[in-house]
Structure 1
Amino acid sequence: MGILKVGLIGLGRHGMRYARHLLAPHPPAKLVAVCRRNAQEGLAFAQAHHLRFYQDPHALIADPDIDAVLVVTVPSLNVTIAEDAIRRRKPLLIEKPLTVTAQEARRLTELATRASVPVMTAHTLRYDAAIGELKAHAPLLGPWRYLVLTARMEHRPHSSEEVRAWNGRGALLEIGIHLLDLVRFMTGERVREVNCELERPVPGAPEDRGWVRLTTTSARVCMVDVSRVSGTRTTRVEIVGEHGQGLADWSASTVQLRTRSGETLSRTLPPTPTIVSVIQAFCHAVETGATMPITAYDGWRAVELAEACYRSAERGHPVQLPREDERDD
């Protein structure tokens, strides 16, 4: 197989990041077509970069010259796009969250599994260098007492169209989904209980603040703090262990560790675009037939945690998650 030829669905703020990396020198895949609902802007972009343009995502998927599809659109559209690509046996890279609901995520995952079509969920923070460095040095901290994950982002108003596209969900699904996935990634464990509080600027609006306490199967406590209320941002993962503490700031690309034996680490890492790493990993798996490093199953589990958070906040008490052998067939 030569270089993988891909089509990109979605040229919004985040989709443009994918496009820029794919159009840079020595890309991991060849971008041959793009899709955008705004035909005027999409066509102008395609013509400027000598790409084919489609306003209809299903027309892009049907293009026989496209080997794989990258989906960077609002999550409420992911299911129908993915189902079409799976029917046409085209590998998929889907930007997080995989879907809006756990039921949709499960259906998509099971459809891809039955069809043996590879699907990767773009939980990009798994490829962040600072987080990776913290995870690699975590054994120095001894048994973990708890994990703290924080993403306090700048306030950004949402249009009524965006609110509908996200099914009324806010900061927890938009930003917190990163952190919920990191809980499983950092601990290697399943979450058995979530307790969540959400705040909304006005009743009925998408939430702009969320605090979540998650408990894993080994009773490890993980705290998630997510918001979109400030003019600045704080982004970090903190491990509090019996022998020391460690912190990774993925916006600043810094890692700090300190142990009771006097060992210290303070490092600023060169910035590494996580989207490039994700695309490279996806292309490698498609080209070699390897298992996707972040599967549709991983995407499903993150959405399932988010949904449990919403239930907990609505009911005002913790929600238990079923074991694998307790899930409905």
Structure 2
Amino acid sequence: MIATVDISRWHAGGAQADAIAAELDEGLQRAGFILVKGHGIDPQLAADVRAAARRFFGLPDEVKRRYSVPVGGHGWIAPGAEANAYAEGTETPPDLKESYSLGAETAVGDPLIDRIWFAPNVWPDEVAELQPLVTQYTTAVRRLADDLLALMAHALSLPHNPFATMADRPTWTMNINHYPPVSVVGEPEPGQFRIGPHTDFGTVTILDREPGAGGLQVFSEADGWSDAPYDPEALTVNIGDLLEYWSGRRWPSGRHRVLPPQPHAPEEDLISLIYFYEANHDALVTPLQPPVGRVSGLAPVTCSAFIKERLDAITVG
């Protein structure tokens, strides 16, 4: 169901680039998810980020609380703060996870905008290595996100890549998600997930995941819920709501969830690195018209207003 795209073929140019663009378009129309190989991001870097994050998540709660922020903030987001299924209008118990969240710091000088979109990142004194590792990782992943958007514009035969200007000062969020075992979070309640069913909000999401029994599932109209394929050499990429909208609903925003700890693997303990890419906070996103888009008459939207509405929806309380 989910296509694998080797982005090094895009960099090769010519007929290879055209072929991979066609594969990407077909794969995204089918599922809103792809696996991306040939991305050039050192797997050791991701492993080092994960190890540093484990050291942070292993600290006592009273230490982690020094870095506590609400959903959408930069810092520690405690268990119980989020219920992602709320974005679909489904009331569920809170998600069984904790996160360390970081984001773009390219402030524009307007206090109201900067407070929401470009707040300074908070780094834990107890794990000094986290900042240089995450900075290196997000630089590499942003480069991949820009490459993917350029490839997507090429796949739709656009005369130029609109994201070259719409995402030159983008908002983005990096969530390091920790999914603890049952001995930490307790038995899941009915309808409770590590992350409830939802779609992401931005343009592209780039996920470096650890496979597990209580892992990622994706939804398709044809197959319902199924376990996401895992390839240790590939990153998992999905379309967010903003890119679905921009594409005139040609590419569906990939609906997904993370299962709770499973009865046969209750002590499984996973960490995911998730990079949510958006566009400039003030970018005016004008949906593509048919025949490229699937739907006509969609009104232009501003990136920040579109994302903020969805962030507010998933905040518990």
Q: Normalising by the residue count of structure 2, what TM-score does the alignment of the two structures yield?
A: 0.28
Give the structure with the higher percent strand. 1
Q: Normalising by the residue count of structure 1, what TM-score does the alignment of the two structures yield?
A: 0.27
- Higher Cα radius of gyration: 1
- Greater relative contact order (Cα < 8 A, sep 6+): 2
